[in-house]
A and B are shown apart, each in its own frame.
Chain A
Amino acid sequence: MRFSVFNLARQALSAHRNWPEQWRSPEPKNAYDAIIIGAGGHGLGTAYYLAKEHGMRNIAVLEKGWLGGGNTGRNTTIIRSNYLWEESQGLYEHAVKLWENLSQELNYNVMYSARGVMMLAHTIHDIQVFKRHVHANRLQGIDNEWLTPEQAKEFCPILNIAPNMRYPILGAALQRRGGVARHDAVAWGYARAASAMGVDIIQNCEVTGIRRDANGAVSGVETTRGLIGTKKIGVVAAGHTSVVMGMADVRMPLESYPLQALVSEPIKPIMPCVVMSNTIHAYMSQSDKGELVIGAGTDAYTSYSQTGGLHITTHTLDAICELFPNVRRLRMLRNWGGIVDVTPDRSPIIGKTPVKGLYVNCGWGTGGFKATPGSANVFAHTIAKDEPHPINAAFTLDRFRTGRLIDEAAAAAVAH
């Protein structure tokens, strides 16, 4: 049943008793043409584009927990494409363009809201770095503009631009097309659309092994719900990628870190956009519900615990209170952690692996949500065609051998 205001009204007449399941809960088949491991936004999206654009409908998405329960449902939902390197710009801009039509495409309101993402410069070095981004983005036709402190405050009136701050704000780079979306809706929207095309989404199904044939190519997966045959496996397991790839004896250039985020109690709107400060480690937006959504950098050590240290949270909030002094009396409602898989150059790996039939999409670090549709779209292409899409061609595993890194971190000291 299509989602629309008419159907909503019609269903209201029958007290909403007739809404169908948004996705099926099938038993796994014996074999599929392709299996995606991980039912987050990237994995579900991959299945959706495999079915829709490549006609692969006999496929399954396996999820050890509940769909959308990993980083998709734990992130601060920032979307932007104002990256430094052309490879990154191409990838993230591809995603932004898909975001712009995603609600209509999926018939699911993912609430993409181009509220603007503003990145603050506190030092002369920041200015140099952000202006380099602005110029590089303009050359690629990606919007990103430089604002004076006064213009920044006009865009976000609660911002403190006092010159006597410990790290005064010297300017800001603004991407107006950047913004936020509703994270759960992205997972659910892709799940519903993929399921409708025949994709089996199998939750509570943990992969415990990867089977390979005599030639070394993949032949199936062992799961907590039995053996499932397949010739193509797409691993989209985020923080658990090293674990899953280890089942095929593939080592990865990844480390998994806790990343915390928090929200305030809901308040009436005070925050019209997203503000990020990499120099003092904090970013903030406000959800439609009214909660201030706040994040920062990762904890220092690798961990799969989905929790982090209190000192990370206190440090994040002291930075937030410096930037926005009127929020000091507001209160933290919820603080949680995810597990993010980080590559040495802070750029993702999307492509083939040394094992035939095994594909990987990982290494999104702290910034994967924004790429969800673009990542899923090019990864589906990679799996279906057994070769990368031009947009993800540079994001190989092999770049760590050649040294052809796409180093967004070293270049900008920018958290994603």
Chain B
Amino acid sequence: MSLSLRTAKSGRINRKKPLSFRFDGQLYRAFEGDTLASGLLANGVHLMGRSFKYHRPRGLISAGSEEPNALVGVDRGNGRYTPNLRATQVELHDGLIAESQNSWPSLAYDVGEINNLLSPLFVAGFYYKTFMQPKQAWKNVYEPVIRRAAGLGKAATAADPDHYASRFAHCDVLVIGAGPAGLAAALAAAESGARVILCDEQNELGGSLLAELHATIDGVPAQTWLEQTLAALVAKSDTVTLLPRTQCFGYFAQNFLGLAERVTDHLAQPDPRLPRERLWQVRAKEVVIATGAHERPLVFPDNDRPGIMLADAARIFANRYGVRAGGRAVIATAHDSAYQAAIDLKAAGVTIAMIADLRKEANGPLPMAARAAGIHVETGTAITGSKGRLRVKAALVGKIGTDGEESVPCDLILMCGGWTPSVHLFSQSRGKLVFDEAKQVFVPGHSAQQERSVGACKGSETLIEALNEGFAAGRDAAEKAGFAKGKARKAKVSGVIEAHGGFLGAVPHGHDVNRVKAFVDFQNDVTAKDIKLATREGMHSIEHVKRYTTTGMATDQGKTSNMNALAIAAEALGKAIPAVGLTTFRQPYTPITFGTMAGHSRGDLFDPVRRTPMHGWAKAQGAKFEDVGLWKRAHYFPKAGEDLHAAVARECRIVRETAGLFDASTLGKIEVVGPDAAEFMNRLYTNPWSKLEVGRCRYGLMLNEAGFVMDDGVVGRISANRFHVTTTTGGAARVLNHMEDYLQTEFPELKVALTSTTEQWAVIAVQGPQARAIIATLVEGIDLANEAMPHMSVREGKICGVPTRLFRMSFTGELGFEVNVPADYGQAIWEAIWAEGEKHGAVAYGTEAMHVLRAEKGYIIVGQETDGTVTPHDLGLDWAIGKAKPDFVGKRSLTRVDLVKPDRQQLVGLLTVDSQIVLEEGAQVTLAANPPPGTSALGHVTSAYHSATLGHSIALAMVASGRARIGEVLHVPMPNGAIAVRVCEPIFYDKDGSRLNV
């Protein structure tokens, strides 16, 4: 292990805790506190990746989350492979395994680099201009090749075993960014008593202070002030929440913000109980944005070689991580801050070959200090190129306005084009940006929400501004959140020197601008000439430029590139920068893990499961279940060796011969109560209700206002003012909402209350000739005799000592009862009835047998026979319409032109000519046996089953003018030929209903 690149002492790494890690299989040593980036730099490794398009060798350019180049995959094994992580954000732990991406066979020798040679062809948008001939070649040849070449890292192949958490939080003041401005804001807000959340994307809170070696704040060194401030915030832990490693990624309406916290990736052996990441969804009364600024690269030819990085990044690596990014540096800048980097790097032992400053003059305090430190400074001088391949070997520099160019040997080029305020979150909050002409940056203007920006993200350039703006903002935010105004604070700062300057666009040079590669967007390989090409081709909007060249669309979302791209486009278009405008800042600020967004919502927690009170019994019997909405319903009860068909045939047969028990608890139940209950029912259902006697039931049909069937169910009149309404399983919530809507907003004069009782009643259907005998011994206080309790009636009494609403009704066509009991008693009563049923040879049947039995009787299922376009008349349900009623929901629509047309589809039965063929549900019905393509269907099969009772297949269908076609032979075309069917009445069993009234 070579430690020669380590500085003597500085930095926040723990030199007492060495660790080892692997990158592309090679073992390296580093220290606790290092990132993968600093660890590799410390080992002299600059080559960390390949660019997206040209596969050019790349090193890192930054030290933070804006990094476009150094993307790696980290493998923790067993599906825990994460691609596209920025090496600058990967915290090292002992044993970490990382690898480079987008290269083959190796990072140093990548065949994809041939793209670099072909780059004269591969300009912006080239793929729109070619790959069009022959026609099939795009899909079969070009696209597969392009897809294999594109993409960055690889996805894991196995399911991710880690889990993710999510949390909703409320606070008075959310402070985003824990640099000096954010810390000051959090402190001031906390001192006012506000509940504060302070988050920062880095592993340590402190922001720029973590690399600050010279400044003193309030008389102590900056890093001491940081410690004291954090201690003060920790002391208020009941009101202050500190969230390091937490990226605020999105700013939504009404001060709702998304934060993503990285919980375990930095740990060598994380506690398996911990989530890998956590999503925070925060509703903040007030927000302070203190997200800092990004240093801009300079756009010069070959500005992308490994060893070329941002000046402040090198300073951070030296000061915070104790790493010298090189031995001999050339610094190219247009901003004073790079002089600080030069001074600090020189102090860390890096030779500064020269500083080339684009500006005519550089006489600020920092340039003067650098000169005083003996650093060679050339002003009016541009960097015009670089040499090297896998590592930069020399910088080309020349006086602006001359063609002269000098090659300066070096292993490190540091660039600084100035600083771009990080206005992403402000812009996401829909605040309006304004262009600061003096500083040539976009800064926050008019706010749209309860927020304020402080420090570098609003264009402030000095530490003292950051601190004082932070204090004031924290105080203001707390006050606006309802707390007493805190006392004003001002920081005292010494030791840091003001830094100004900046440059936008492409650095001037003497080379052919149309041939050199001066990168703007490093990851997507977008060069200055690509942007100019786009403008030449008519892409005059910055959005067009972005989309045509893909600048700013890489995984860094253009954090380092957007302003340079904009400036180059503006110059090419001859417009001012604000006239060209910015592209939209979209969330997330940095990429957010899918798993984090999904949180706990996975597996059984993906959606709640609703189970009936008798679910456990059915499961113990070996029932197979189906999903209906959120419910699990018993589909069928197979005995050993039975498949679906055998089980259903047996269940149907025994119900018709003897009896069966069916769990109908999932049906929706609504209690409609009040003096106007009958009138309300009159208005909501097609049927008339006023004259329904207490103790009787009626089949109710509900339409939507457009006149189409929406729901149905049996309704019992419990008393003059009380109806027990049932709905379909899937329609329960919709029907209640529909009823409430009309009751609350259209008919508020009606005195009615609606209560969902779906989960209060367990419902046991006992159906079959023996149904009465089975329940007779259990029921108390109800005369079950046919005359006393006829078909379609309801009684209240007890069963096994438990209160019941007992319905006599049938969805099978057999004598039947539905026993409603309080849900808590559901399984006990079921078991009691089952015990009686077994004596009679009864069967438990599931939804599939229920479907067959009802189809034999021609009873519709809403959602199966109907599809939202079907009227009562279509279904032959005119009898369910109260003709004398002046109005009901949907009535008016039934007279619309198209709803009374004679050729509408109508419900009919179909019998296959070959009686053993079962039609397929959804199959089309046509006049001709072999219709040519384009033939209009007459309709379609809605339900089709083999009827064990009848010994042949049956089907229901919606067929145009169907009732007039009864007796006709039609056809159901299938891939292997048409099936002939005869149209019949939609009832196949016990047409006169004699089995119901026994």
Which residues of chain A are near B604, meaning CB under 8 Å?
166
Encoded as 1 (CB less than 8 Å from any B CB) or 0, chain A from 292 to 318 comes to 000000000000010101100111011
Contacting residue for A17 out of B130, B514, B603, B936, CB 8 A: B514
The verdict on A329 contacting chain B, using a C-beta distance below 8 Å, is: yes
With A8-B126, A268-B154 known as contacts, the answer to whether A331 contacts B592 (CB < 8 A) is: yes
Cross-chain contact A288 with B143 (CB below 8 angstroms):
yes
CA of A103 to CA of B587, assembled, Å? 33
Question: Complex: how many Å from CA A27 to CA B922?
Answer: 55
Distance A232 CA – B663 CA, assembled complex (angstroms): 63
Residue B544 at the A interface, CB < 8 A? Answer: yes
Closest B residue to A84 using CB positions: B867
| CB atoms of B555 and A329 under 8 A apart | no
Tell whether A111 is near chain B: CB-to-CB under 8 Å: yes
Q: Is the CB of A314 within 8 A of B544?
A: no
Name the residue in B151, B155, B159, B923 with the highest tally of chain A Cβ atoms < 10 Å from its Cβ. Answer: B155
Q: Which of B126, B553, B597, B937 contacts A332 (CB 8 A)?
A: B597
Cβ contact within 8 Å between A23 and B538? yes
Judging by beta carbons under 8 Å apart, are A265 and B555 in contact? yes
Residues of A within 8 A of B111 (CB): none
> Is the Cβ of A123 less than 8 Å from the Cβ of B628?
yes
Spell out A's residues near B (CB within 8 Å).
Answer: 3-5, 7-9, 12, 15-17, 19-25, 65-69, 73, 86, 100-101, 103-104, 107-109, 111-115, 122-125, 128-136, 138-141, 160, 166-167, 182, 184-185, 188-189, 203, 264-270, 280, 286, 288-290, 305, 307, 309-310, 313-315, 317-322, 325-336, 399, 401-405, 407, 409-412
Q: Which residues of B sit under 8 angstroms from A17, Cβ to Cβ?
A: 514, 536
Question: Could you show 27 A-B contacts with beta carbons less than 8 Å apart?
Answer: A3-B128, A16-B514, A19-B533, A21-B536, A22-B538, A22-B539, A66-B543, A73-B543, A109-B129, A111-B143, A128-B864, A133-B922, A136-B924, A139-B973, A166-B607, A267-B154, A288-B147, A318-B599, A321-B595, A326-B79, A326-B155, A335-B587, A402-B898, A403-B893, A407-B867, A407-B869, A409-B868
Q: Does B80 contact A (CB under 8 A)?
A: yes
User: Which of A68, A125, A135 sits near B863, CB closer than 8 Å?
Assistant: A125
Q: Across the two chains, which residue of chain A brings its CB closest to B134? A: A104
Given A103-B132, A132-B921, A132-B922, the answer on whether A16 and B123 have CB atoms closer than 8 Å is: yes
Give per-residue flags for B886-930: 1 if the beta carbon is below 8 A from chain A beta carbons, else 0: 000000010011110000000000000000000011111010000
Q: Give the CA-CA distance A288 to B123 in the complex, in Å.
A: 17
Find A410's partner among B80, B146, B537, B868 (CB 8 Å cutoff).
Answer: B868
Q: Does B940 contact A (CB under 8 A)?
A: yes
Please state if A329 and B143 are interface contacts (CB–CB under 8 Å): no
> Which of B192-200, B250-258, B453-461 faces chain A?
B250-258
A141 and B147 contact, CB distance less than 8 A: no
In the complex, the answer to whether A184 meets B132 with C-beta atoms within 8 Å is no
* Of B81-89, B229-237, B947-955, the one with at least 4 CB within 8 A of chain A: B81-89
B540 at the interface (CB under 8 A from A): yes
Contact of A405 with B933 in the complex, beta carbons under 8 Å: no
A128-B897 Cα distance, complex, nearest whole Å: 30
CA gap between A16 and B123 in the complex, in Å: 8
Verify if B627 is at the interface (C-beta below 8 Å from A).
Answer: yes
A265–B594 CB distance below 8 A: no
Q: Which 7 A-B pairs have the closest CB atoms?
A: A410-B868, A290-B151, A141-B933, A132-B922, A15-B514, A325-B159, A331-B591
**Contact among B84, B150, B258 with A310 in the assembled complex (CB-CB below 8 Å):** B258
In the bound assembly, the distance between CA atoms of A336 and B131 in angstroms comes to 30
Asked if B626 is at the interface of the complex by the 8 Å CB criterion, the answer is yes
Q: How far is the CA of A129 from the CA of B206 in the complex (A)?
A: 58
B594 adjacent to A264 (CB under 8 Å) = yes
Q: Is B839 an interface residue (CB 8 A)?
A: no
Task: Please determine whether B975 and A266 come into contact, CB atoms closer than 8 angstroms.
Answer: no
Give which listed residue, B536, B598, B626, contacts A124 with CB less than 8 A. B626
The one of A25, A182, A401, A404 that contacts B540, using a Cβ cutoff of 8 Å: A25
Q: Which of A20, A123, A317, A403 contacts B897 (CB 8 A)?
A: A403
User: How far in angstroms is the closest Cβ of chain A from B518?
Assistant: 13
Per-residue CB proximity of B148-173 to A under 8 Å, as 1/0? 10111111111110101010000000
A113 contacts across to B, CB distance below 8 A: 138-139, 143
Given known contacts A73-B547, A125-B863, A128-B922, is B529 in contact with A4 (CB within 8 Å)? no
Proximity bits, B531-556, A CB within 8 Å = 1, else 0: 00100111111011001101001010
A152 to B529, CA, bound (A): 45
Let me know if A265 and B84 touch, CB within 8 A. yes
Tell me which of B128, B166, B537 has the highest count of chain A C-beta atoms within 10 A of its own C-beta: B128
CA distance A23 to B534 in the complex (A): 12
> Interface readout for B577-597 with A: 1 if CB under 8 Å, 0 if not?
000000010111001111101
- A132: nearest residue on chain B (CB-CB)? B922
> Which single residue of chain A is at the shortest CB-CB distance from B76?
A329
Residues in chain A near residue B105, CB distance under 8 A: none
**Cα distance A318–B595 in the bound complex, in angstroms:** 7
- Produce 1/0 per residue, B429-471, CB < 8 A to A: 0100000000000000000000000000000000000000000
A293 CB, min distance to chain B CBs, angstroms? 13
B120 at the interface (CB under 8 A from A): yes
Taking a contact as CB atoms under 8 Å apart, the answer to whether B130 and A267 are in contact is no
Q: Is B788 in contact with chain A by the CB < 8 A criterion? A: no
CB within 8 Å of A: which B946-982 residues: 973, 975
Query: What's the minimum C-beta distance from A335 to chain B, rounded to whole angstroms?
Result: 5
How many Å lie between the Cα of A377 and that of B705 in the bound state? 35
Does B602 sit within 8 A of A, measured CB to CB? yes
| Contact partners of A128 in chain B: CB under 8 A | 864, 921-922
Q: Is B931 interfacial (CB 8 A cutoff)?
A: yes
B121 adjacent to chain A (CB < 8 Å): yes
Contact between A266 and B143, CB atoms less than 8 A apart = no
Within 8 Å CB of B602, what residues of A?
Answer: 318, 321-322
Neighbouring B residues of A412 by C-beta, 8 Å: 867
B706 at the interface (CB under 8 A from A): yes
List the B side residues contacting A141 at CB < 8 Å: 933-934
Determine if B16 is an interface residue (Cβ-Cβ < 8 Å): no
Q: In whole angstroms, what is the CA distance A307 to B584 when docked?
A: 11
A122/B138 in contact, CB under 8 A: no
Given that A19-B536, A326-B157, A410-B869 are known contacts, is A12 also in contact with B120, CB under 8 Å in the complex?
yes
The residue of chain B having its C-beta at the shortest distance from the C-beta of A66 within the complex is B541
Asked whether B17 is an interface residue with its Cβ less than 8 Å from the other chain, the reply is no
B residues less than 8 Å from A4 (CB atoms)? 129-130, 132-133
Task: Assess A317 versus B869: contact at CB under 8 Å? Given A104-B132, A267-B154, A290-B151.
Answer: no
CA–CA, A139 to B930, complex, Å? Answer: 10
Bound: A356/B607 CA distance, A: 51
A19-B536, A267-B155 as given contacts; A103 in contact with B557, CB under 8 Å:
no
Complex CA–CA separation, A136 to B131 (angstroms)? 35
Q: A19-B533, A129-B922 are in contact. List 13 more A-B contacts (CB 8 A).
A: A25-B538, A167-B606, A265-B152, A266-B152, A280-B607, A310-B252, A321-B602, A326-B160, A327-B155, A401-B896, A405-B706, A407-B869, A411-B867
Which residues of B lie under 8 Å from residue A315 when comparing CB positions?
601
A309 touches B252 (CB 8 A): yes
Are B940 and A318 interface neighbours, CB within 8 A? no
Chain A residues near B706 (CB, 8 Å)? 403, 405
Bound together, the chains give a CA A19 to CA B529 distance in angstroms of 13
When the two chains form their complex, are residues B594 and A15 in contact, meaning their CB atoms are under 8 A apart?
no
A167 touches B607 (CB 8 A): yes
Q: Which residues of B contact A112 (CB under 8 A)?
A: 138
A325 contacts B160, C-beta separation under 8 Å: yes
Q: Could you say which residues of chain B place their CB within 8 Å of the CB of A5?
A: 129-131
Instruction: List the A side residues contacting B609 at CB < 8 Å.
Output: 166
**A136 to B923, alpha carbons, bound, how many Å?**
7
Which residues of B have CB within 8 Å of A115? 139
Question: Is B533 within 8 A of A331, CB to CB?
Answer: no
Question: Are B541 and A69 touching (Cβ within 8 A)?
Answer: yes
CA distance A326 to B595 in the complex (A): 10
For the complex, what is the distance from the CA of A321 to the CA of B541, rounded to whole Å?
A: 36
B83 — which chain A residues lie within 8 A by C-beta? 265, 267, 329-330
Alpha-carbon distance A108/B130, docked complex (angstroms): 8
Cβ of A305: which chain B residues have Cβ within 8 Å of it? Answer: 253, 430
